[in-house]
Every structure is written in structure tokens, then in C-alpha cells.
Amino acid sequence: MGGVNVCIKHAMFTFNFIFWQCGILLLSVTIWLQSSKGTSEILGEGIYDINPHVAMNMLIVVGAVITILGFLGCCGTVAENRFVLFVYFVGLFLIMMMQLSAGFLTVNFRSKTEHILNEILYENVVLLTATDDAGKTFQTAVAMFQEKFKCCGLISGPSDWGDNFQNYFMTCTCTGAPILCTSYQGKLVFKQPCAPLIKKVVSDRVEIILWLAFGLAVFEVLGLIFSMVLVCQIRKR
């Protein structure tokens, strides 16, 4: 009866140790993307069923399961336990399918991004001139975005604020190069409206999700191959 190939065993252990670290990294990145402030409050709840947040929630689950599977794979390899390795194989396959689903959801969203964001931003710009609680919540979110990304207004610039401009102009006061600034109601503010920057933030997050979803899937195929080879060798002992 043949024994377990030492090289395969070591490769499997090394792979799963790296895989475990990838799970932690995936979990950390997706939680950071999900919780980071910037566009969520501006885009509103209406986009949540078709935006990257759905895919990010799926990837958070994937990251947690990958962390567990990586540990399980290391234990199964060291113990040369067929049952543990089989559970690892099935779990890895299922989680890879879920991960690819998250990736395809994001691809579908990316193809509609420009239209969806334009529609939502043009609808929400009226909230900058509102005086109710919903308007104030939206205005606070835009003000924070302005301060962070050096822009002013949403679509047309500072004029989007209407009578509320005097309440929020400090968050878009221009202190950079004169070419970036414009004068409005006696205040020097950033000329760049925030809509293009919001689109870029969303686009960047979409790209990160795609790299995580499809890039890690390629890596996981190796795990499936290694685990199946190891299970076959253990069975032949």
C-alpha cells in the first residue's frame, strides 16, 4: 500500500495556511467596505437591492467560512483524516459557488452603474434644498463627502444647495489651487461637483469586489485539487 506523498501533504498544509490568511483578509476588507462612510447615505436605501452591498454581504459570509475552512484543511492534512478533508472539499466547493454568485451580481450591477447612479443622484439632489428631517440627514451625508473629497454640491455645484448653502459652505471651502475654486455667494468653494466622485467611489468598490470574488476563486480551485488528491492517497494506504 502506498503512503501519502509528503510533498502533496506539505503543499496542502501550506496552501490552507495561506487560504486561512486570505479568509481573514477577505473578511477584513469586505467589512471595511461595508461599514465605511461615503456613499451609502447619499445613494439611499433604494439602491441596496442592486448595489455592491448585496455582494459584500455575501463576501463577508464567504470570508468567515473560508477562515474556518482554512483551519479545517490544516487540521485534516496533519491528521490525514479523510472525513475532515471531504467536508473541507464540499464546503470549499459550495463557498466558491456562493463567491462566484457574488461576483456575477457585481458584474450585473457594473453594467448598469452609470444609468442607476445618474437616476438616483438626479432624484436626490432636491434633498439639498429641503428643510425636513430626511433632507437634513441627506445634507449631513453630502457635507461629509464634500469635506473628504474636496467637492461642492451634487450635480451643478454649490447652486444645488439653494438656501441651505450658507449652512454647509464650510465643508466645501476651497483651500487648494485657484483653478479648483469658484466664487459663490461671496464664498470661495470647490468648483467640482460631487457626483463624478461618488460614481468613482462606487466604481472602485465594484472593482475590489470583482477582484476578491474571481481572484480568490482561481486560488480555491487549487484547494479542491489538492484535497481530492490527498483524500485519494489516504484511501490507497
For residue 48, what pLDDT is reported?
42
Same domain, yes or no: 23 and 102: yes
Which residue in 184, 194, 202, 205 sits closest to 146, CA to CA?
194
Least trusted range by pLDDT, from 48-57, 66-75, 82-91, 221-230:
48-57
Same domain, yes or no: 20 and 62: yes
Same domain, yes or no: 129 and 140: yes
Cβ-count burial 100-119 (b if 16+ within 10 Å, e if not): bebbebbeebbeebeebbee
Same domain, yes or no: 136 and 206: no
Per-residue CA distances from 89 to 99, 151, 223 (Å): 15, 49, 8
Q: Which of 35-49, 69-83, 113-127, 178-192 has the highest mean pLDDT?
A: 178-192
User: Is the pLDDT higher at 14 or at 52?
Assistant: 14
Q: Could you tell me the CATH number of the domain that includes residue 184?
A: 1.10.1450
Same domain, yes or no: 32 and 142: no
pLDDT exceeds 60 at position 235: yes
Same domain, yes or no: 41 and 78: yes
Cα angle, residue 109 at apex, residues 108 and 111 outer, rounded to 5°: 70
182 assigned to some structural domain: yes
What average pLDDT does the segment 51-76 reach? 77
For residue 10, what pLDDT is reported?
81
pLDDT band at 44 (very low <50, low <70, confident <90, very high): low
Chain CA centroid to CA 92, Å: 21
Same domain, yes or no: 190 and 207: no
pLDDT band at 24 (very low <50, low <70, confident <90, very high): confident
Same domain, yes or no: 60 and 147: no
User: Is the pLDDT higher at 38 or at 32?
Assistant: 32
**Structural domain span for residue 131:** 124-195
CB 17 within 8 A of CB 70: yes
Distance between CA atoms of residues 131 and 100, nearest Å: 44
Same domain, yes or no: 186 and 202: no
Same domain, yes or no: 110 and 212: yes
1 assigned to some structural domain: no
Q: What percent of the chain has pLDDT over 70?
A: 87
Which residue in 34, 207, 42 sits closest to 120, CA to CA?
42
Q: Which amino acid is at 27?
A: L
How many domains, the chain?
2
pLDDT exceeds 80 at position 163: yes
